Amino acid sequence: MHDRSDLLLPRDRYFGPEPRQREIAQHLYTEVAGLPLVCPHGHVDPRMFADPDYSFGSPADLLIIPDHYVFRMLYSQGVGLEALGVPLRQTFEVSETSKVSLETDHRTIWQTFADRFYLFRATPTGMWLTQELVEVFGVQEKLTGDSAQRIYDQIADCLVRPEFRPRALFERFNIEVLATTDAATDPLAHHQALAASSWSGRIIPTLRPDAVVNLHAPGWRQNVAALAAVSGIETGSYRGFIQALEDRRAYFKSLGAAATDHAALTPYTAELSDAEAETIFGRGLAGRATADDAVRFAGHMLMEMARMSIEDGLVMQLHPGSFRNHNVEVFARHGLDKGADIPIATEYTRNLKPLLDKYGRDARLRLILFTLDETTYSRELAPLAGHYPALRLGPPWWFFDSLNGMTRYLDQVVETAGLYNTAGFNDDTRAFPSIPARHDLWRRASVNWLAGLVVRGIVDLCDAEDMAHDMAYRLAKQAYRL
Amino acid sequence: MHDRSDLLLPRDRYFGPEPRQREIAQHLYTEVAGLPLVCPHGHVDPRMFADPDYSFGSPADLLIIPDHYVFRMLYSQGVGLEALGVPLRQTFEVSETSKVSLETDHRTIWQTFADRFYLFRATPTGMWLTQELVEVFGVQEKLTGDSAQRIYDQIADCLVRPEFRPRALFERFNIEVLATTDAATDPLAHHQALAASSWSGRIIPTLRPDAVVNLHAPGWRQNVAALAAVSGIETGSYRGFIQALEDRRAYFKSLGAAATDHAALTPYTAELSDAEAETIFGRGLAGRATADDAVRFAGHMLMEMARMSIEDGLVMQLHPGSFRNHNVEVFARHGLDKGADIPIATEYTRNLKPLLDKYGRDARLRLILFTLDETTYSRELAPLAGHYPALRLGPPWWFFDSLNGMTRYLDQVVETAGLYNTAGFNDDTRAFPSIPARHDLWRRASVNWLAGLVVRGIVDLCDAEDMAHDMAYRLAKQAYRL
Amino acid sequence: MHDRSDLLLPRDRYFGPEPRQREIAQHLYTEVAGLPLVCPHGHVDPRMFADPDYSFGSPADLLIIPDHYVFRMLYSQGVGLEALGVPLRQTFEVSETSKVSLETDHRTIWQTFADRFYLFRATPTGMWLTQELVEVFGVQEKLTGDSAQRIYDQIADCLVRPEFRPRALFERFNIEVLATTDAATDPLAHHQALAASSWSGRIIPTLRPDAVVNLHAPGWRQNVAALAAVSGIETGSYRGFIQALEDRRAYFKSLGAAATDHAALTPYTAELSDAEAETIFGRGLAGRATADDAVRFAGHMLMEMARMSIEDGLVMQLHPGSFRNHNVEVFARHGLDKGADIPIATEYTRNLKPLLDKYGRDARLRLILFTLDETTYSRELAPLAGHYPALRLGPPWWFFDSLNGMTRYLDQVVETAGLYNTAGFNDDTRAFPSIPARHDLWRRASVNWLAGLVVRGIVDLCDAEDMAHDMAYRLAKQAYRL
């Protein structure tokens, strides 16, 4: 009855144990499991689709070296990032005392990982990886130190075959649309190439202007100069800077963009006068911007971006609350996005008030809020989204893209905000082959939550079927106007 | 076996699915379902009982136009408050550009609501409304756009009948006592009329002095003048102001009041010297009070109110942490209490220390604390209530008056505070016909939680029966000294 | 089939009701229930083991008078601490007005407690006490006002017997190692006596230097003088002070210490220059240290202690976030640790950054973090522990050492930090006979949580068995390097 993969990946996984709830969950899951995947926010490299011959490299290239979810856990248990092949920054000068040789043997890296795969027990990363091994690569045994090299062989054998090229997997995964995340200064060459190609997969860019709106971003002045170069609009003045950004929005939109994305340490918003904005921008160009300037300018630019969203219809996403690059040495050696970003407490009620006062009633604005501070779900975000027409709540983000994270989100958000002020799911990943596993976890968590409502008499089965479809597919499309 | 209403409103609703727990929950529910309703805190208009011929008007008058739980959700999805008949402030001058016609056709309002009733899926508002339709008005079909006008007819037919007058429903609902919430300057004419009438329903006032203790409340000086007028005591000095408040407390008490109620942005408390209080009060009267003055005076007045509670035995309720009227335009057009109040993070441990240092050990003081910041349940409120004799914890408030809100409250509070430092339930509603549904939700949530304790061997069935009775009835009476 | 004690203390207590989950939980429990108890952090008095004839006194001496978990709940319901025999501070001068006679009749104290034992329904204290009565003292009836004196007799009868001496109970409880908590100035006479004795029980000290590193600790200057006396090293200079602390660490280590422990209002860390440290230390000795001095010195000393841990291998524990002695009168009358410590919101991401920047990558440092602010589990602590090699997360602490507290901890921590960045369990108790009940609660909560993972297909049974063993035994030993 059960093949090996059903032991590794039970068919009714993630459903609660009570038989009636499980039966309803299974019924709802059957209804939505085959729906196309809508991926309105993520970090997959568009190059892999622009180049029809793109190869993922070795199993370690695919699954370990670029995945900060994986290597941060090994690092936390004393495995150096060099031993996992995580590259050093080109600008990093290795002194004698800190010299560590970068592991280049990918079988050794894989063995190091497999020996410690037990560290991922009960984590979403472990759950995604297991599903990926079984469903994408057909692995039929548990990953351990013993099975490591056999599984390496099996994945490596797959990766050389044409059906494991990104475009083939995109189709196999049944992805309807995939949004990438791209700097405002990105010329979008890969998106242009895709637009010009005969391949029908829908890959759309998303404009992320953080590097030009944050005065203290590394290389801000060069970024602003690059903005001028790519847009052909002078950015020596604040006014030109704004025009260049508007130009980039139009360009992104012409290549299919549906949204912009904004990271910020806090969701602080406040409008500057034109004169103040010009002055602060000028101090930035002169290299004399203060910490307060940077905060005020970032808060002002969120207001400006909301204004532009009203004008051009691009959906606005806000991802605040991550203290980036917390580990100074990891940042110095390896750079950004190395699993060293740590959340902080985040305040929305007061911080967003200036923006909401000005634009919150305008349904042309669609502002999707995310959080790394779960305390804000029930205290601030659900009440805000349950009131302001411009707001929607994004799905549980990053650390909370997990079975418990989703359950807490649904239990804390929906009673107050209602389901229809949420934005469905997005996978937010740079790990392309993990996309089906991530959506599957969301769909299973959703139907299990809905089945819990049905057995408690809170919604009837007919409503639950409708809600399951909304959560798996429709809400994401509607929220991002896709 | 099942009639239609059992499909709309399952008999075992809100109980967990595991059969043994459900059986125990049902047993406990049977024990408490028929107990009288104790309603020590709420916002029902006393006029509806003072006037024996009071009529609720149309179904929209009863269920939509005055209920910010309902219209905020519709507003969040782009339905204007005018389209729902929510009245404009008399002082609001409608300019040409913002002119929107107020919908006056109540069948159209009802249809707008019914078309979107799916927005309330899995929300407490949806659960209360469904129960109200079924149990109060005998509706036997689901509310949808299709059934909207039939259900409107059915409710409208009811509302003209004598058994749907407020006094008749009060008796049908088996309400033992109902507290209203009344400004310190309210002459309590309706309560006087009730005291003089032959009707036996117990409707008691609650003194809420926010408008006279908050120096920056709209119209504070007029409010203080009104306090003088209603009490006959000069309020031109701080000393007179305090005497007038003491006089009002005595007057409220003479009409049955058991409690006072205090909203505040934060639970800050700190005592001023008489001279400081007089100076700040004087600046208030002169229209020169600073923001800091207002904070300090509010913190001082909480201390004063605690002192008075010790003297006269009125229970003190504190409801902090709501950022009121967050949406400037909604406030300008429609005024207070329009679903635009958003919670903020709240701190109790340090803020309440001055009050607790002075009065916290005095069991004559009964201070019932509420919160809109669920993080304080386990971190601050339960440890405080599990120590100070003067403290009790109020039930989950506002957004948290919900199945999940109650479960989180019980799971986070009781282990540390114990059940007997909680204050049972109160419905906190201005929607009179929703009162039975709200108490029923609490009773079901309570017995389901208790059944969970029994099946886990944490309490025995005998204790659970006693606790069920406490939670449904006795704790509220004891906490409010009724 | 069931004897009386199974009614009081069901064999399958604390397991979820669903039969399959319960069966798996019971299976896992059977695997770990008999493992020795590892107690790496607690507050048991070492004298009770050093003196082979130590007696616990009366039932009230054992279970009520010293246990702030017990008397705070009675106090919150209006029972004075004097009525429970809680001693007054020797320095407290009882004025005429505040004179209350200390109850000295232990049967009366016991009756007061038993009459109100219902207050502990659904609390961990109630669960521990019941288990203690049944399993340690063989009680077969429920504790009520009626049974109070019979149960008193039964306990009193036990306590005079040799098998109820601490050493005998230590062996009966199957404790492998028990760490005490000891001031830096403690000469450790009892630990010396134990080292010299023939008894084989492993009782180890833990160095807690709060009283000498907190410039505003009561009697700080005397404490620093005592440090000089006990170490034989001059502490008139900062440099000498550091040397004396290093000397004490070496001495504690020679008597088996594995760890140090640090309380602090916040986890603030920041390094001072030697000159700054010397200056602030000097102001402290001169009695002129400011509040800011105390904060900076405490933050600096955490850095220093981390440095010393790297050098000598002692594990470092940090217990921040308790506002101690919140009730001024209880502190004045009865002193420390009287159930009046209230948590505050706590921030780790920014506060710990200086320490982690300098030492967080060094696996020689083992820093175990605790919290009284559960919001930090998923927001800060799990991301930090899931990244930094030096960090581990301690078990749910104090108020959260409870069934719900453990469940929330596991659900919020493990997905992000992984199980292997946690530190297993510690009982943190001064109530020696409650130790088995506390570990049993943890083991039951753990296996129930694991069974929940198995029935959801998140981990397989084989992994769950391994994890159960880790949680019950191995993680604590590994985390504390025992």
Q: What is the pLDDT of residues B384-416, one digit of tens each?
A: 999 999 999 999 999 999 999 999 999 999 999
Q: Which is more confident, B89 or B215?
A: B215
| Whole-number Å distance between alpha carbons of C135 and B108 | 69
Please give the structure tokens belonging to residue B95: 């300019």
CATH 1.10.2020.10 maps onto chain B at 56-164
Element (H, E) at A368: strand A367-369
pLDDT class of C90 with cuts at 50, 70, 90: confident
Give ipTM to 2 decimals. Answer: 0.97
Please state at what angle helix B238-254 crosses helix B291-312, rounded to 10 degrees.
Answer: 40
pLDDT at B101: 87
Kindly report the average pLDDT of chain B as a whole number: 96
Chain A residues touching residue C453 (CB < 8 angstroms): 122
Cα(B298)–Cα(A85) distance, integer angstroms:
60
Q: Environment class of residue C97 by beta-carbon count within 10 Å: exposed (0-12), middle (13-18) or buried (19+)?
A: exposed
DSSP of C125-140: HHHHHHHIIIIIT---
DSSP conformational letter for B261: E
Q: How much is the average pLDDT of C189-209? A: 98
pLDDT score recorded for residue C97 = 53
Contact criterion met (CB below 8 Å) for C234 and C289? no
The whole-number pLDDT of residue A4 equals 65
Q: Which residue of B has its CA nearest to C68?
A: B387
> What are the start and end residues of each CATH 3.20.20.140 domain in chain B?
4-54+165-479
Which residues have CB under 8 Å from B212's CB, separation 6+? Answer: B184, B185, B220, B223, B224, B227, B241, B245
Cα A364–A365–A366 angle (5° rounding)? 115
CB-closest option in A363, A386, A414 to B122: A414
Closest residue to C121, CB basis, from B350, B412, B463: B463
**What CATH number was assigned to the domain covering residues A57-163?**
1.10.2020.10
Of A16, A18, A123, the CB nearest to C415: A123
Which chains border B (3 or more CB–CB pairs < 8 Å)? Answer: A, C
B17 and A463 in contact by Cβ < 8 A?
Answer: no
B328 contacts A357? CB cut-off 8 A: yes
Give residue-wise pLDDT tens across range B47-93. 999 999 899 999 999 999 999 999 999 999 999 999 999 999 877 66
- C-beta atoms of C459 and A121 within 8 A: yes
Q: What is the dihedral of CA C250, C251, C254, C260, to 10 degrees?
A: -70
- The average pLDDT across B113-136 equals 98
DSSP-derived pairing of the beta strands C322-323 and C342-343: antiparallel
C-beta atoms of C72 and B386 within 8 A = yes
- Distance (Å) of CA A400 to CA A125, A474, B379, C416: 11, 22, 22, 8
Q: What is the mean pLDDT of residues C160-173?
A: 97
Are B403 and A415 in contact (CB < 8 Å)?
A: yes
Class of domain B56-164: mainly alpha
C-alpha B184/C-alpha B223 separation (Å) is: 9
How do strand C182-183 and strand C207-208 relate by DSSP bridges? parallel
Distance from the B455 Cα atom to the nearest Cα atom in chain A, whole angstroms: 15
Q: Which residue of C has its CA nearest to A124?
A: C415
Q: Smallest CA–CA separation between C435 and chain B, in Å? A: 18
What pLDDT, on the 0 to 100 scale, is given for residue C94?
60
**Does residue B94 carry a pLDDT above 90?**
no
Sign of the C-alpha dihedral computed for residues A245, A248, A250 and A256 taken in this order: negative
Substitution target from B18, B416, B469 for chain C, most C beta carbons within 10 A: B416
- Confidence grade of residue B1 (pLDDT, cut at 50, 70, 90): very low
Q: Of C415, C454, C470, C474, which to mutate for an interface test with A (greatest number of A Cβ within 10 Å)? A: C415
Mean pLDDT of the B292-299 span: 98
pLDDT in tens, C344-375: 999 999 999 999 999 999 999 999 999 999 99
User: C385 to chain A: which residues are within 8 Å by CB?
Assistant: 76
pLDDT at C272 over 60: yes
**Chain A residue with the nearest C-alpha to that of C453:** A122
% of chain A surpassing 70 pLDDT: 97
The first and second tokens of residue C19, run together, are 């039969």
Residue C89 pLDDT > 80: yes
User: What would the pLDDT profile of C92-134 be if each residue is shown by its tens digit?
Assistant: 666 655 567 899 999 999 999 999 999 999 999 999 999 999 9
Instruction: Quote the tokens at residue B137.
Output: 């008005």
Report the residue from A15, A76, A400 with minimal CB separation from C389.
A76
State the 10-residue block means of pLDDT for chain A, 482 residues long.
Answer: 73 97 98 98 98 95 97 97 94 62 96 98 98 97 98 98 97 98 98 97 98 95 98 98 98 98 97 98 97 98 98 98 96 94 98 98 97 98 98 98 98 98 97 98 98 98 98 98 96
Counting as contact any 3 or more CB pairs under 8 A, the partners of A are: B, C
Specify the residue for token string 């995939």.
A178
Q: Whole-angstrom Cα distance, residue C64 to residue A387?
A: 51
pLDDT, tens digit (0-9, with 9 covering 90-100), for B421-456: 999 999 999 999 999 999 999 999 999 999 999 999
Residue keyed to tokens 């920041």: C270
**Which residue of chain A has the CA closest to B346?**
A379
The verdict on a CB contact (< 8 Å) between A17 and C415 is: no
Best CA proximity match to C322, nearest among C263, C406, C260: C263
Give the pLDDT of residue A7: 83
Tell me which of B361, B458, B466 to substitute to probe the interface with C (most C C-beta atoms closer than 10 Å).
B458
In this complex, which of B345, B387, B460 lies closest to C339 when CB atoms are compared? B387
Note the pLDDT tens digit of each residue in A65-93: 999 999 999 999 999 999 999 999 877 66
CB B144 within 8 A of CB B224: no
Per-residue pLDDT at B2 exceeds 90: no
Looking at CA atoms only, how far is residue A234 from chain C in angstroms? 39
CATH superfamily name and code, B4-54+165-479 = Metal-dependent hydrolases (3.20.20.140)
| The predicted structure's pLDDT at residue B446 | 98
pLDDT at C7: 83
What is the CA A268 to chain-centroid distance, rounded?
21
Could you tell me which chains touch chain C, where touching means 3 or more CB pairs under 8 A?
Answer: A, B
Q: What is the mean pLDDT of chain C?
A: 96
CB B13 within 8 A of CB B153: no
Taking CB atoms and an 8 Å limit, are C327 and B387 in contact across chains?
A: yes
- Tell me the shortest Cα–Cα distance from C310 to chain B, in angstroms: 33
For C375, the closest of B18, B375, B384 (CB atoms) is B375
CATH of region C4-54+166-479, choose from 3.40.50.150, 3.30.420.40, 3.20.20.140, 1.10.3720.10: 3.20.20.140
- Report whether pLDDT(C5) > 80: no
Which chain B residue is nearest to residue C14, measuring alpha carbons? B456
C4, pLDDT greater than 80: no
Rounded CA separation A103/A84 (Å): 6
What local confidence, expressed as pLDDT, does residue B124 receive? 98
User: In which band, very low, low, confident or very high, does the pLDDT at B97 lie, cut at 50, 70 and 90?
Assistant: low
